[in-house]
Amino acid sequence: MRLENRVLVSGMTILIGVMLLLVAGCGDDETNTPTTITGSMADHEFLAVKTQMDDFVDSTIAFFENGINTFQGISDGEDIIPPQYAVNPEQQDSWDTSYTNGWHVIQIAYTEKDQFEDGVWQMSLADSIQYKKNGVAQESWVDHDQLVYKHHWTWDVFDTTVNHTNFEGNADFTFADLTTGLATVTGSRDFNASNKIVHLDSTVWRDFTFTADVNNVTLKNSAFTGWSNCPVGGSVSTTIEMVYTKDDGDPVTTTWNATFTFNNGTMTASVSKGNTVWGYHSDMCDVPQ
C-alpha cells in the first residue's frame, strides 16, 4: 500500500507540474499578442474623419493668428484694426463692438450672395478679448503680458438639398509670456461639423463633434516678422465622435481619439479608434527666423 500511495502521489505531482507549465505557456502567448492594430490609410471611415481633422488643425492654427492679430488692439477709436474683423460692405449684415466688465466684445454677421442676390451661405462670430498684466484685466492693449481670446462662430449654407457641410465652433485660448520671445498658448476648442453627401442611390450624413485641449503650444516672436502662428512646440489632443447615418438607417456612432504634436512647423498625428491606430506627418508652416 505504501508503494502504491507513493506512486499515486508522484503521478499527481507530475500532472500538476505539467498543468502549471501549460498555464505559464498560455500566459506567455497572451502577453505576446499585439494590443494594437495598424489601420489602413485608405480606410474610408478613417478618411472621412481625417478630412475633418485636417480642417480642425488648420482652423486651430488660423485662430492662433486671429488671436495674435489682436495683440496691437481692437480699435484706434474710429476703425477696427484686426483684419479678421474688417467690414465688407457687400457682405456685412451687422457689426458691433463694445467693452464691458474687462472684455472687448466683437459681434459680426454676414451673408454671401450669388449673382441673383440669393443667399449662398451665412456666417456669424462673437469674440471676447481680454488684455491682462500681472493677472489683472485692463482695457488698453498697451504693455499687456497676457491675452485671453474667446471665439465663437457658425457657418451655414442655405441650400441643404445638395452636398454641404455646416460648422459651429468655440475656442478659448490664453496667450501667456507675451513679453518674451516665445509665447505659450493653452486652452480648449469645441468643433462641430455636419456633413451631407448625396450619391446617385443614397444619401449619407456624418456629424462630427470635437472636444479638444490645447497643451502648451509655443509661438515665436521674430525680430524681423513679429509674432507667428506657426507652432514651435506643444500639442492639441481631442476626442472625436462621428455619427454616421445612411438614408433611413439607424445612426452608427464611433469614437476616435487624436493627438497632434507640433515641432517647428511639422505636425505629427496619432489617431486611434478602439485598438486600431493610425499615424501621419504634415509640414504645416515655416517657423520664422
Structural domain contains residue 24? no
Structural domain contains residue 226? yes
Structural domain contains residue 166? yes
**Residue 92: what pLDDT?**
64
Number of H helices, E strands in the chain: 2, 14
For residue 130, what are the domain limits?
43-283
- The model carries a pTM of 0.82
Tens-digit pLDDT profile for the chain (289 aa)? Answer: 443 444 334 444 444 444 444 444 455 455 565 699 999 999 999 999 999 999 999 999 999 999 999 998 886 555 666 878 876 666 667 888 889 999 999 999 988 887 776 778 899 999 999 999 999 999 999 899 999 999 999 999 999 999 999 999 999 999 999 999 999 999 999 999 999 999 999 999 999 999 999 999 999 999 888 999 999 999 999 999 999 999 999 999 999 999 999 999 999 999 999 999 999 999 999 998 8
Structural domain contains residue 36? no
Residue pair 280/41 in contact by the 8 Å Cβ criterion: yes
Structural domain contains residue 177? yes
Per the structure, the count of domains in the chain is 1
Residue 233 to residue 161: CA distance in whole angstroms = 42
Residue pair 66/149 in contact by the 8 Å Cβ criterion: yes
Structural domain contains residue 18? no
Contacts of 145 (CB under 8 A, 6+ apart): 132, 133, 134, 176, 177, 178, 179
Q: Which DSSP symbol is given to 251? A: P
Contacts of 232 (CB under 8 A, 6+ apart): 182, 218, 219, 220, 262, 263, 264, 265, 287
b/e sequence 28-62, b meaning 16+ C-beta within 10 Å: eeeeeeeeeeebeeeeebbebbbebbebbbebbbe
Residue 13 to residue 241: CA distance in whole angstroms = 55
